[in-house]
Chains A and B, each alone.
Chain A
Amino acid sequence: MFSDLVRPWTGNQKSGLSLLSGLFITGALATSTGAFAEWQDPLQTPAMSSDKAHQSLLLDVTERGNALVSVGAYGHAIVSTDNGFTWFQGSVPVTTTLTSVDFADEKNGWAVGHDGVILNTADGGLNWTKQFDGFKANEAMLTSARNNLTNAEERSEEIQETGSDMEVEQAMTALENAEFAFQDAEYDLETGSTKPFLDVYFWSAKEGIAVGAYGMAFQTMDGGSEWFEISSRLPNPNRLHLNAITRVGERSLTIVGEMGLMLRSDDMGETWVGQSAPYDGSLFGLLDEGDTQILFALRGHTYRSDDDGITWQALDTGSEQTLLGGFSSDRGAMLVGNGGSVVTLNAQLSGAESTIIAGRKGAASVIRSEAGHFVIAGDAGIQLVSREGKLLQRQAEMSEEKGNE
């Protein structure tokens, strides 16, 4: 039904319009009623093909073998096989804003976003299918919230008979939280309000976790055929936003979130414990490079840990802009954020330098290309910058070609 919306102008482009044909076209427009369509849910509406997908809001960029994949607003998923200079658009079945993308290997990748949507590609980003959405998430969240509530009720009854005052108080708080969670889940389900996923990480073509707003977390063990709710496993009673999930070392995962929330699993997501963060503002991401971890957060706060996150030292970045994305390698790291802020760290990840990308557009994610320059996704779409944060002469463009795989 929406195929006629794809590339809107091709059908109507007119040049050197003569007066008479102008008259004719006006008449034709007035009478063309056509098959009548109506608004459809963005979760049911395929993304429009666009020549400007690389210039609209993009929220994540990742690598897939030697190719780059970026996702963002209006269901855009774009792929580049030449270090970010030319991009082509994958076909996506939703128009929802996508916030994060991750590939397990060259072919298999997942993208998550608003409306609790989870998409999967098996061909490196050309074609995407929907695996999960916020309405399913709401049902799962309600079931889980109901179970939690039942458990909390049982526990509080149990404790009231046997436990100490403090235990009783804790149980009551837990019960209260469980009640709130249940009410919110009910509200969401009734009103069709959905929550966004904010990050996704796959450590194999089968296993991955997607985390999102209000403590929402889902896991799959079978490549996404089934997504199950794991928020109740997380020690996050206030249902704070989960901003990012990062692999740390061999078998560990760290989730960072709102209000200094830092959660750690040392068994790939089975069990989680809270960690104390060096900062109680929002944390937006964690980089794990060798023995060093870099934590970045609201208003330019950046910390370094050399002992697997037990102690942290503040890094002076000289920037007060919130940092939203980062990339590290053995050559150093780059952090990007609001107002076009770029912070570069040297190979030892100690010295930091701060600059601003011309145009001051907010940046959400960054990756280093094989060619050595950095590819940034953000408010201005794709921006290619040098290590020093200067915009390259040549910038990204869209291509009709599907590229050479």
Chain B
Amino acid sequence: MSEQKHHYSSEPEHYILSSESEPFLERLIFNNRSLVIVVLMALTALFGYGLSKVTLDASIEKYIPLNHEYIQNYLVHKDEMKSGVANVKIAVETTDGDIFTQDYMDTLSKISDEIFFVKGVDRSGMESLWTPNVRWMEVTEEGFQGGPVIPSTYDGSPDSLEQVRQNVLKSGQVGRLVANNFESSIINVPLVEYNPDTGEKLSYATFSADLEEKIRNKYGSDQYRIYITGTPKKLGDLLEGAQSIALFFLAAMVMTAILLYLYSRCIRGTIVPIVASLIAVVWQLGSLALMGFTIDLYSVLVPFLVFAIGISHGVQIINGIAIESGKGASPVQAARHAFRGLYVPGMLALLSDAIGFLTLLFIDIGVIQELAIAASVGVAMIIVTNLVLLPVIMSYIGISQPGIDHAYKASQSKAPVWRGLSAFASRKVAPFPIAIAIAMGIGGYYYSQDLKIGDLDKGAPELRADSRYNKDNAFMVGNYSTSSDVFVVMVETAPERCNAYKVMDAMDRFMWYMENVPGVQSATSLVTVSKLVTKSMNEGNLNWSALSRNQTVLNTSIQRAPGALLNSDCSMAPVIIYLNDHKAETLETVVAAVENFKDSYDDDVDMKFYGYRYNELEQAIEDGEIASVPVRFQLASGNAGIEAATNQVIADAQGTMLIFVYVVVFVLCFITFRSLRAVACILIPLALTSILSQALMTYLDIGVKVATLPVIALGVGIGVDYGIYIYNRLEVMILAGKSMQEAFFETLRSTGKAVSFTGVTLAIGVATWMLSPIKFQADMGILLTFMFLWNMLGALILLPALASFLLKPESMLARHKKKHGEVPPAG
């Protein structure tokens, strides 16, 4: 250890901050320790107050790319199409025979009544076999005949049940309100967005819980099964799932504490990093809440990251303090030396994390941008809490004797594992990991060519395939003529013209065109209603299921069309296209087909004509300003339409984001280490991890989506920490004159030990997400766990192997000498 005797009086080969022997920052902090504590505690109190302002927000807007053209088009009509979104369907299935039994009808009636009084239900719009708005209709010699499906004379007798059966068949509700197999029927429940009594926005979480409690738990049994679907229910389930995140956080914290204790064998060395990291979490949550940010399903994960990253840096400090204390330094001295040795790589690592996260701002989706801000702020907080507060606290309380002994023993041991690992820094062994890495890189690259954009699973992709919601959804799709993947094209024209023959005919042709596109099941719109009603008005004769050119007939035919199929001034009518699935290819094919049709049918006329009132347009047509009623097809709405837009945004942003995050770490590493070779040693393992994680996504059928794109940036941002710490120490050891392998051995048993601990800790923290009921959180957990572990292995194996070929210890020493004389570097 003689060569390390002088290193307190030397300084590292870094230029970010001071080049003085006792850096300015160190003096500033450690000469005013009590002041630092007081100020930081005051801040903690302030941000702790901010915690009370944290709110969970489930607004849908944040999850979609608001500035995308499709979404902009959709937002123009958002209020007019609201009715379709806030809607839940409740299916009641009998496991015994069919629905035409007295018991089933009674049960359905009770459930129907119960739902009527659930808060948030739009009572007038409710539909079930028991509501009077569900009617049957028939053409007779005298004209139309009809009535409610369950007649007022219903008494539960076999005769009246048979009557109900006949009425159901005549009602056209089979496949809609009554299952194709007659074993279940649906209660369709539209919601009001605002509570009429209080004016408050309806809480989907409460509503969803109400349904579970008052409907599913109360009426669900072996004989009657309840299935509930619809966007409000899905959001409710997601919010419920998000609450389990708190449990995962607790679990991660306990596991981290145990690992930390095993690692440090010191209660103080265990509690202080945890407390410091928790303070960072408090600061992050509190400051963002004070700034007015809300928590969503993505940013709810940030505290994990902040905590885990905080711990990993805290460990480095504790490790440094223990080693220094083992050498006999006082608590203050040990803390100062640990700070001095680690604040540069620590700050560099945290800065690259923070800036790396900020590259997520390139993705124009609210949740990702807020995730970027939250994570960056959180990481910036760690600089203060774990690089400043933590060593200052430790300078007061010091590390316990068992901890010091443990660290000392470790530093004196032969450390066979580290000895073995250090072989990777020798030129004899190094070619193997390098060759393997190249093979994996190439293999991974080709394999990841199949990586898909978007969500690949059926049903609600946010939730697991075997979640209750998705099971319910599968039941609905399987037993009713409906698809959960809906692509909506908005057909725009001038006011009061959506029922003009030209507009209707264009829609009709568009629907047939789309029905011929692979992946499209069917399309429906105002035209469907018009044809159906025209046919009905002509005694149900199929020959009449066509659009009439007679405007009076057309008007009559859509008089009773559902409000969801046209807007209030009849200037827009949506075409609803049902898809097989929402895979990226399907969406791309559909979008391309719509664009193709648009090219042939959109009227290239001045925008002003779309605003003309009826008479103005008549005049304009008469004057020859415009040939006919203008029409254009606007993409897109519906879950599939929004997803198509999201996919496009993600496909566009993916490359940019990846380039920027690598540019950021490149620049920061280069500024710090002033050597392209050093940068290569740090970045090549990272790049390998990026490639392999894409291959893993391909293998696990996880698409690039809102949830997984940030992981790429997070993975690179956090992964670079390991490389920076390892390289920093390795360089110090090389400059101290050690051989490459010896330098790496020394690196491993100090920093390397901390890095491997960190890798495992971080991985455990995010691995708990895999248990989340929310699918995208689980996906993020899998990928981050993989990236953290693999980055750790990269830094411990590939980095030294590369270093053994890339680094030139002689020239490094020469350069160092030229600058600083014979003084060995700090470390």
B481-525 interface mask toward A, CB cutoff 8 Å, 1 = contact, 0 = none? 000000000000000000000100110010011011110000000
Q: Is A56 an interface residue (CB 8 A)?
A: yes
* Interface residue from A20, A48, A191 paired with B516 (Cβ < 8 Å): A48
A317-352 interface mask toward B, CB cutoff 8 Å, 1 = contact, 0 = none? 000001010000000000000110000000000000
* Interface residue from A57, A281, A339 paired with B141 (Cβ < 8 Å): A281
* CB-based nearest A residue for B535: A362
* Interface residue from B543, B628, B652 paired with A59 (Cβ < 8 Å): B543
Q: Is B601 an interface residue (CB 8 A)?
A: yes
> Which B residues are in CB contact (< 8 Å) with A5?
513, 596-597, 600
A395 to B84, CA, bound (A): 36
Q: Would B541 and A284 count as touching, CB distance under 8 A?
A: yes
> Which B residues are in CB contact (< 8 Å) with A91?
none
> Which A residues are in CB contact (< 8 Å) with B502?
39
> Which B residues are in CB contact (< 8 Å) with A74?
509, 512
* Interface residue from B169, B450, B546, B549 paired with A73 (Cβ < 8 Å): B546
* CB-based nearest B residue for A320: B138
**Chain B interface residue number, banded:** 35 or more
A50 to B543, CA, bound (A): 21
* Interface residue from A9, A39, A281 paired with B506 (Cβ < 8 Å): A39
* Interface residue from A25, A194, A282, A364 paired with B549 (Cβ < 8 Å): A194
Most buried by B among A23, A194, A243: A23
* Interface residue from A22, A32, A339 paired with B169 (Cβ < 8 Å): A339
**Given that A19-B655, A26-B648 are known contacts, is A51 also in contact with B516, CB under 8 Å in the complex?**
yes
A360 to B171, CA, bound (A): 13
Q: How far is the CB of B267 from chain A (nearest CB, A)?
A: 50
**Given that A37-B601, A299-B141 are known contacts, is A364 also in contact with B543, CB under 8 Å in the complex?**
yes
* CB-based nearest A residue for B654: A19
Q: Is B453 an interface residue (CB 8 A)?
A: yes
A23 to B541, CA, bound (A): 49
For window 355-382 of A, CB contacts with B under 8 Å fall at 360, 362-364, 378-379
* Interface residue from A12, A39, A95, A243 paired with B589 (Cβ < 8 Å): A12
Q: Is B2 an interface residue (CB 8 A)?
A: no
Main SS of chain A's interface residues?
loop
A379 to B528, CA, bound (A): 13
**Given that A15-B585, A324-B542 are known contacts, is A4 also in contact with B449, CB under 8 Å in the complex?**
no
A280 to B141, CA, bound (A): 8
> Which A residues are in CB contact (< 8 Å) with B544?
196
Q: Would B541 and A25 count as touching, CB distance under 8 A?
A: no
Q: Is B704 an interface residue (CB 8 A)?
A: yes
Q: Is A33 an interface residue (CB 8 A)?
A: yes
Q: Would A18 and B449 count as touching, CB distance under 8 A?
A: yes
A103-134 interface mask toward B, CB cutoff 8 Å, 1 = contact, 0 = none? 00000000000110000000000000000001
Q: Is A192 an interface residue (CB 8 A)?
A: yes
Q: Is B627 an interface residue (CB 8 A)?
A: yes
Our count of residue pairs bridging A and B at CB distance below 8 angstroms stands at 167
* Interface residue from B541, B548, B597, B601 paired with A324 (Cβ < 8 Å): B541
* CB-based nearest A residue for B506: A39
* Interface residue from B506, B516, B540, B548 paired with A8 (Cβ < 8 Å): B516
Q: Is B595 an interface residue (CB 8 A)?
A: yes
B551-576 interface mask toward A, CB cutoff 8 Å, 1 = contact, 0 = none? 10000000000000000000000000
Q: Would A22 and B453 count as touching, CB distance under 8 A?
A: yes
**Given that A19-B453, A19-B704, A42-B505 are known contacts, is A57 also in contact with B542, CB under 8 Å in the complex?**
yes
* Interface residue from B509, B512, B655 paired with A23 (Cβ < 8 Å): B655
Q: Is A17 an interface residue (CB 8 A)?
A: yes
* Interface residue from A19, A95, A363 paired with B451 (Cβ < 8 Å): A19
**Given that A39-B502, A95-B509, A364-B543 are known contacts, is A17 also in contact with B584, CB under 8 Å in the complex?**
yes
> Which B residues are in CB contact (< 8 Å) with A115?
549
> Which B residues are in CB contact (< 8 Å) with A198?
543
Q: Would B585 and A17 count as touching, CB distance under 8 A?
A: yes
> Which B residues are in CB contact (< 8 Å) with A26?
648, 651-652
Q: Is B545 an interface residue (CB 8 A)?
A: yes
Q: Would A20 and B655 count as touching, CB distance under 8 A?
A: yes
Q: How far is the CB of B524 from chain A (nearest CB, A)?
A: 14
Q: Would B601 and A193 count as touching, CB distance under 8 A?
A: no
Q: Would B589 and A13 count as touching, CB distance under 8 A?
A: yes
Q: How far is the CB of A220 from chain B (nearest CB, A)?
A: 21
B131-150 interface mask toward A, CB cutoff 8 Å, 1 = contact, 0 = none? 00000000111000000000
> Which B residues are in CB contact (< 8 Å) with A196?
543-544, 546
Q: Would A17 and B593 count as touching, CB distance under 8 A?
A: no
Q: Would A298 and B139 count as touching, CB distance under 8 A?
A: yes
Q: Would B140 and A8 count as touching, CB distance under 8 A?
A: no
A2 to B512, CA, bound (A): 15
Q: Would B600 and A25 count as touching, CB distance under 8 A?
A: no
* CB-based nearest B residue for A58: B542
A20 to B517, CA, bound (A): 24
**Given that A9-B518, A17-B585, A29-B592 are known contacts, is A39 also in contact with B546, CB under 8 Å in the complex?**
no
> Which A residues are in CB contact (< 8 Å) with B541?
243, 282, 284, 322, 324
* Interface residue from B597, B599, B628 paired with A33 (Cβ < 8 Å): B599
* Interface residue from B516, B593, B704 paired with A12 (Cβ < 8 Å): B593
**Given that A9-B589, A298-B539 are known contacts, is A39 also in contact with B505, CB under 8 Å in the complex?**
yes
A14 to B453, CA, bound (A): 13
Q: How far is the CB of B543 from chain A (nearest CB, A)?
A: 5
Given contacts A14-B585, A193-B551, 13 further A-B contacts (CB under 8 A): A9-B518, A14-B592, A18-B449, A19-B451, A22-B453, A39-B601, A45-B509, A56-B515, A57-B542, A74-B509, A324-B542, A360-B174, A362-B542
28 A-B pairs with C-beta separation under 8 A: A5-B597, A8-B513, A9-B589, A12-B589, A19-B651, A22-B588, A23-B651, A36-B602, A36-B604, A37-B601, A39-B502, A48-B509, A48-B512, A48-B516, A50-B516, A52-B516, A73-B545, A114-B546, A191-B551, A193-B551, A196-B546, A198-B543, A243-B543, A280-B141, A282-B541, A322-B139, A322-B540, A360-B174
7 tightest Cβ-Cβ pairs between the two chains A and B? A12-B592, A193-B550, A97-B546, A281-B141, A364-B542, A22-B651, A37-B600
Chain A residues near B (Cβ < 8 Å): 1-2, 4-5, 7-9, 11-20, 22-23, 25-26, 29, 32-34, 36-39, 42, 45, 48, 50-52, 56-57, 59, 73-74, 95-97, 99, 114-115, 134, 188, 191-194, 196, 198, 241, 243, 280-282, 284, 298-299, 322, 324, 338-339, 360, 362-364, 378-379
